[in-house]
A and B are shown apart, each in its own frame.
Chain A
């Protein structure tokens, strides 16, 4: 089974702190994604990466940056955490798109619940 591991299940940070959320996948997937999930707002895409060293902004990139130096690892960075970034953060990976069976399917990690005080 594909495994997507997020380093921290729960974090509590203070306003202004720099926060790193780490995500590692073990199935050699090319694509990786960061979403945030808030009640009533569904899953909103922050950033995604097609492959190593590639990144594209999603729908809500403001206040975030990402890093993909290795294929298996996709990091989300909050340069200066704010209270409105308190949320559940979900990482996902996906095999490169195409017509093959199983392509396009997102596999999610367990999530990282961040509280910014």
Chain B
């Protein structure tokens, strides 16, 4: 079945350092979504990427979708303590298939 691998599992950074999490799918995706889960909270939608090679930015966050639509990354520039949490990617095989497959998540901690 479809698998979505996400690395690293954990990342500890000093405040102000950059952070990147990577997501790789065993199959070509229709789209990929990113969610953030704060400690003690629930996943909250951040962004959706649909086009091959797409790059989207949200302030200090940059999201990329690979040319082959099999990988994606989330990069945070100059991390802040408010960035702590677990970041999940979720890949959708095709828009009619129904279910998204989540990566295992990357948990980010930021030391002030």
Contacts and interface: CB of A to CB of B under 8 A. Distances in A.
Interface of A: 31, 33, 35, 40-45, 48, 50, 56, 58-59, 90, 97-99, 104-111
B24 interface: no
Interface of B: 1, 6, 9, 31, 33, 35, 41-45, 48, 88, 90, 92, 95-96, 98-105
A114 B90 CA distance: 24
B98 A48 contact: yes
A74 to B, nearest CB: 14
A104 B43 contact: no
13 contacts: A33-B99, A42-B103, A43-B102, A48-B99, A90-B43, A97-B96, A97-B98, A104-B33, A105-B48, A106-B43, A108-B43, A108-B44, A109-B42
